Amino acid sequence: MPEASFPHLISMKPTETSGLASAHSPYPPSWLGPVPSNTAKISTQGSSNTHAPSLINFVQSAETIVWESLSLESCLLSLRTLSDSLSLDCFLCIIHKCRLRQSSAHAMLVHLYLCSHGVDVHYVIQSHIVTLYVECGSMPQAQMAFNRLTRRSEFVWTSLMNGYVDSGKPLHSLGLGQAMREDGIEPSKFTLVTLIKACARLQWLERGQDLHKEVIDMGLEDDPFIGSVLVDMYAKCGSIMKAQEVFDGVSSRSIVSWTALIAGYTEHGQAEKALKCLDLMSLEGLSPDIGSYICSIKACGNLEDVRRGHRLHSEAMKKGLERDQVLNHVLIDMYAKCGFLEDAQGVFVKLLVKDVVTWTTLISRYVDQGHSEAALRCLDQMQLEGEHPNDITLVCSLKACRYLGALDKGREIHSLIVKEELEKIPYVCNTLVDLYVKHGRLEEALDVFQELEVHDVILWTTIIRGYAECEQCEEALSCFEQMQFKSISPDVAAYNAVISACTVNTEKVFQTYLQMQERGLLPSQATMMGVIRACKHKSTLAFGKSIHAQLSNSGGNLTEDIQLATVLVDMYAKCGDMVTAQQLFECMLSRDTVTWTSLIAGYAGQGESDLVFELLGRMKDEGISPDGETFLGVLIACAHAGLVEEGQMFFETMRSDFGIAPTIEHLNCIVDLLGRVGRLSEAVLMLNQSSVPPDQIMWGTVLSACRKWHDVEVARHAFHCAVALDSNYLPAYSQMANIYADAELWEEARIVEAMKIQQR
């Protein structure tokens, strides 16, 4: 963090503007004390008004207490009509009323009057005008008034610093602190409080530690007020142990310091310690305030401790805190995180004011808990009630569309994003791209991608993943190269996306993996699994074994990681090393359907039908239900062994006992099985009666069997069916011509060859 230095803040008018916000002074309410009893008169230059109401005449001659009893509007009216001199007390009283109202418009009216009558030259008035603007949230006006001061006390310096902290410009505050020291004014306890608050906002630990040393040098380390802000600063900077150390060193701990510690533990993932602090605070006789409840209920949400959260909710309601918006936000969040969505909805419904944060909290948690339809209904209701969704609301809603497959609703939200001019925000754009990628709408994803001027690594990775899901390896690699050309360094997720895209291109996968290692990136489990999946042939077995060795040497327990072990079993099975595949399989502590299927498919590919049937029996004995892929492996084993009856039995068992609808792959396997044993008429009958429409490849399988068994008639039927589905399916022409030639039907063979040439 650079050293803060802002000399322009005390020498010229600031150029930035500030929104209206309430400033909270570091000084306690009693710091200013009552309106001063100074009796000095300040001459005004207003013209007399003989027709002024009698109230004005009374005010002119009365004590200051009369001004205190008037409304702000009456005081302002009196200022415009008075001509006699007024005491300093009267002006300070009016300024005090403006401060209580926190109205920047009234503050400017008073300041204008004071300037036009020359009253603002008084040092006390000038200082209070600065403070008035600060407390009204008008920092540009406060800075201008400050710049006009001829004398600057520690009080007015600190007030301005505090205003910048509360208006979201803590670095400006630290710059003023430096300028104050250069002006020869030493910081007070309250100045240090403000500067420490600024460090907390900036999470600037080093500067905060320097200020802590000053606190110690001034002998203030035991001060409860100072202690509270130090605890808060260390907690916000991530130094929670130091926060606890400072807290323990304060002899008299306030509710503020306890709350700062509770908040620190909650925000840094130590919710149990946060709730323990709450218990200890209660033992010291301190009752939680609104801040304590908010932090503690957050902790309950993080722990999913709904009982404790509900108890704190009840306590807060008994104290009349049910109208606090922030408290209601965390209650909704806590109940939703714990899975109690009805309770979250109950808190939401009772709210008198439902702002965008409240709606977004509910929508977000609906999505997180898998209730995406409810999230989208909530979005619709939000808009019906006239509340405009913000970027976070719309991102959560897009995620709901992604989970539901609701592309049309996603497009509707996309239009809303454009209308609200949010499409240039990177994470909004990324969520949109992700939605379109998920639905295979790569062109729409690219349109969104290209609209954004700046692309981060997350966005590039999403596009690469889109190419991967569309099995477009070359495009994914091109995108990966473009990303690096534009000086975006790929991270592990980007490399994983490329590896996923290139699974069919083993060489590219290996190159990408080696490049990743050369760049010093540690592969994740997803990386390793992607590389292992690319090892599908005997020629890649050695590389697959090297990856297996790396995993073993990294200290991971493969016997407990079912997903990783299954991928390894599948790799060894596909590469033909059934001994290693079986050994890994037997060592696994638990196995799922995919694991069993991988081993069955491996043995099926080697024609080991007996082992396939044995594994299927063991699988059923262990209570694991086979799926369509499992039965496909079994049918392949039957086909290789020529076991027609067994194959038909398993095919029927799959449909009737397990309710698995046959796919083209299952049907093709049965047709191949029937064709191998010459039962061609049955194969054709099965295809004609199948609920799955046969494709040209299936009829090609029949043609292959017809040539083996010299069945010209069935071949003619199969040929006509194949070319009717795809007239450009050239293998059908070749097979039919060969069948005619084998039968010495030369003219028919010549005609089919001519048809083939014509299709070319």
Q: What is the spatial distance between Cα 84 and Cα 66, in angstroms, rounded to a whole number?
A: 16
Q: What is the pLDDT of residues 39-66, one digit of tens each?
A: 333 333 333 333 333 333 333 334 444 4
Q: Which of the four pLDDT bands, split at 50, 70 and 90, describes residue 221?
A: confident
Q: Between these two residues, 744 and 117, which has the higher pLDDT value? A: 744
Q: What is the spatial distance between Cα 668 and Cα 681, in angstroms, rounded to a whole number?
A: 15
Q: What is the pLDDT of residues 455-492, one digit of tens each?
A: 889 999 999 999 998 888 999 999 999 999 999 999 99
The reported pLDDT for the residue numbered 117 is: 61
The reported pLDDT for the residue numbered 252 is: 83
Domains of the chain: 1-187 (no CATH), 591-661 (no CATH), 663-760 (1.25.40.10)
Q: Between these two residues, 73 and 698, which has the higher pLDDT value? A: 698
A 10 A CB-CB count for 233 gives 31
Q: What is the pLDDT of residues 109-145, one digit of tens each?
A: 777 666 766 655 566 777 878 888 888 888 988 898 8
Taking residues 707-721, report their average pLDDT: 96
The reported pLDDT for the residue numbered 47 is: 34
- DSSP character for 87? E
The reported pLDDT for the residue numbered 111 is: 72
The reported pLDDT for the residue numbered 135 is: 84
Pick from 88-97, 202-211, 390-399: least confident: 88-97
The H-assigned helical ranges of 87-169 are: 88-101, 104-116, 123-135, 139-147, 154-166
**645, pLDDT greater than 50:** yes
Q: What proportion of the chain, given as a percentage, has pLDDT over 90? A: 67
Task: Take residue 726 and report the two structure tokens written for it.
Answer: 């795809």
Per-residue exposure over 618-640, b if at least 16 CB sit within 10 Å of its own CB, e if not: ebeeeebebeebbbbbbbbbbbb
Q: Between these two residues, 52 and 162, which has the higher pLDDT value? A: 162
Give the SS3 label for residue 73.
Answer: helix
**237, pLDDT greater than 80:** yes
Q: How confident is the prediction for the chain on average, in pLDDT?
A: 85
Residue 214 CA: distances (Å) to CA of 254, 333, 676: 22, 40, 91
The H-assigned helical ranges of 369-518 are: 372-384, 391-404, 407-419, 426-438, 442-451, 457-469, 473-485, 492-501, 506-518
The reported pLDDT for the residue numbered 81 is: 55
The reported pLDDT for the residue numbered 212 is: 95
- DSSP character for 62? S
HEC string of 346-381 equals HHHHHCCCCCHHHHHHHHHHHHHCCCHHHHHHHHHH
Q: Which of the four pLDDT bands, split at 50, 70 and 90, describes residue 15?
A: very low
The reported pLDDT for the residue numbered 88 is: 61
HEC string of 418-438 equals HHCCCCCCHHHHHHHHHHHHH
Taking residues 479-507, report their average pLDDT: 92
Q: What is the pLDDT of residues 252-296, one digit of tens each?
A: 888 998 999 999 999 999 999 999 999 999 999 999 999 999 999
The reported pLDDT for the residue numbered 72 is: 53
Q: What is the pLDDT of residues 190-216, one digit of tens each?
A: 999 999 999 999 999 999 999 999 999
Per-residue exposure over 542-569, b if at least 16 CB sit within 10 Å of its own CB, e if not: ebbbebbeebeeeeeeeeebbebbbbbb
Q: What is the pLDDT of residues 516-544, one digit of tens each?
A: 999 999 999 899 999 999 999 999 999 99
Taking residues 578-596, report their average pLDDT: 96
**10, pLDDT greater than 60:** no
